[in-house]
Amino acid sequence: MQIYPCPFCGPRDETEFSFAGEAGNDRPEPAEKISDERWAQYLYTQDNPRGNSHEIWVHLTCDEVFVMERDTVTHEVIGTKSLRKEEAK
């Protein structure tokens, strides 16, 4: 069992979180002009780096969406950052 830090709630059990994708994999726009190949790349292709990784996670208890920086080899959580707009100012 791991403990992940929610930027809003603090440390919580990993079972309360859901992986939502790699950070930086922005939705291509405008949707009507995107090729099938680009959509497939957006939906199904991930870098899956070994080591330092930036991922989007959701804390299911409070619905906080945030970026978690963690090491995919050691599973060490390096840090988290909220994606709420008021936090980005």
| CB-nearer residue toward Zn ion: 59 or 70 | 59
Q: Which residues from 36-75 bind Zn ion, rule CB under 5 A?
A: 59, 62, 64
DSSP codes of every residue in the chain: --EEEETTTEEEEGGGEEEEEETT-PPPSSGGG--HHHHHHHHH-----SSEEEEEEEETTTTEEEEEEEETTT--EEEEEE--HHHH-
Task: Please report how close the Cβ of residue 29 comes to Zn ion at its closest, in angstroms.
Answer: 29
Task: Please report how close the Cβ of residue 14 comes to Zn ion at its closest, in angstroms.
Answer: 13
According to CB under 5 A, which one of 5, 8, 65, 77 is a site residue for Zn ion? 8
9 binds Zn ion (CB under 5 A): yes
Binding site for Zn ion (CB under 5 A): 6, 8-9, 59, 62, 64
